[in-house]
Chains A and B, each alone.
Chain A
Amino acid sequence: MHNGILPADKPEKKNHGHRGDGAPRRPIVSGRVLIVDDMSASVELLKSILTREGYHVMTASDGEQALQMMEREHPDLVLMDVLMPKLSGFDVCERIKRNKATRLTPVVLISALNERQDKIQGINAGADDFLTKPVDAHELRAKVRSLLRLKRYTDDLDSAESVILSLAMVIEARDAYTDGHCQRLAGYATALGSALGLGDDQIAALYRGGYLHDVGKIGIPDALLLKPGRLTPLEYEQIKQHVVIGDRLCGEMQSLRQVRPIVRHHHERLDGSGYPDHLKGDAIPLLAQIMGIVDIYDALTTARPYKAALSAEEAFAELTLEVERGWRRKDLVDKLISLGRQGKLHAVNEDSPTLA
């Protein structure tokens, strides 16, 4: 989500022309707007303007109430006065942006004092835009319209991600023996990423990657994917295509750009003997290397129709062999082993996983 000041729609030329009979018009983008101000006349004014545009408006007279409304009503946009008793607009904005459930809701801060310091503090609190009182009605309409459009896009994006996630769950369901594999990978990969001191964005990518790394298997026929016997070389080539298919599936989504390298490259090996691009050494993205290691660890420690589960220590020995063969980075494998021995490798435990 854009966090700075958004380029507002170019305000229409200020015109005091006649705008019709004041009956609510059908909004170009529909939406539910929460207005927060301790001065009721200000609330009523904004409400009048936006109701006439056909938006659904709800109101709150202080910060506490605003946060309750966020929780209960999930508005698409918040217009909020900065200077309020108890919780200030900055405080409320910060809480909205810190909460995973509401952080994608655009917040416009409104101030009567047009001060630079206020704007900086607002940006730091995560505000998406600003308005100064007296609010110009044209500017207000333009900003509300453009931010609601933005909210619509992010909502669509969210649902697109849910579709991809559902695909991943479908794949897991096709093969009963991989049950829980995604949750475990998300858990192991984020644990290893945290231990390596990676940033929040990268940890989030590992989490999503845990679910999505094999999403391309949706494009591989059951007969092949679930074949009990050995694969012919040709069949193996077909299976290898899953990373390319997965990469393409995630390709359209901006929010998955950090996940795509994981999907495409988690079967690469340091010596270039992996697939699909035979990348070598550091050319293999770090996140993909991490996913590759935990993927193998989970495959080894899980029972399959053709093999029993190895113990953790046996799996560590196997991974160490892969280091010696020049396939895996020693420091990454060592870190995984030390986490495992400390009992810090767990599946993510969620009833309904989300692409956090």
Chain B
Amino acid sequence: MNDRRVFVHDMKNHLAVILGYANMLIEELPETDPHREDANQIYKAGEHAMALLAKLPSAENDPT
């Protein structure tokens, strides 16, 4: 794998952990808990970062 694919792979791995834990908080905090919204913000930001990563020019399709 070339450097860019390794970068994308590793970045996704870390973002996946952030998203996963944020999601777990959202699932488990009661509706009324003020921290629920905090976790929501973390989750959204993570999703945005993931979307940006996917836009890297042909990052995953690069055969080199």
- A20 interface residue per 8 A CB criterion: yes
Q: A238 near B: Cβ within 8 Å? A: no
Question: Please, how many angstroms separate the alpha-carbon atoms of A19 and B31 in the complex?
Answer: 10
Contact indicator A112/B12 (Cβ below 8 Å): yes
Distance in angstroms from B62 CB to nearest chain A CB is 11
Query: Is B24 within 8 A of A48, CB to CB?
Result: yes
Cβ of B20: which chain A residues have Cβ within 8 Å of it?
45-46, 49, 134-135, 137
B19 partner, pick from A39, A83, A134, beta carbons under 8 A: A134
CB of B22 to closest CB in A, whole Å: 10
CA distance A17 to B14 in the complex (A): 24
Interface of A is mostly: loop
B42 proximal to A (CB < 8 A): no
- Return A112 CB to nearest CB of chain B, in Å: 4
Interface residues in B4-55 by Cβ distance below 8 A to A read: 5, 8-10, 12-17, 19-21, 23-24, 26-31, 40, 46, 50
In the complex, residue of chain B having the shortest beta-carbon distance to the beta carbon of A17: B27
B14 to chain A: closest residue by CB = A41
Q: Are B13 and A112 neighbours in the complex by a CB distance under 8 Å?
A: yes
Residues of A within 8 A of B (CB): 16-22, 39, 41-42, 45-46, 48-49, 52, 83, 112-115, 133-135, 137
Complex A-B: 8 CB contacts under 8 Å: A16-B23, A18-B30, A19-B28, A45-B16, A48-B24, A83-B9, A113-B9, A137-B24
Residues of B in contact with A (beta carbons under 8 Å apart): 5, 8-10, 12-17, 19-21, 23-24, 26-31, 40, 46, 50, 60
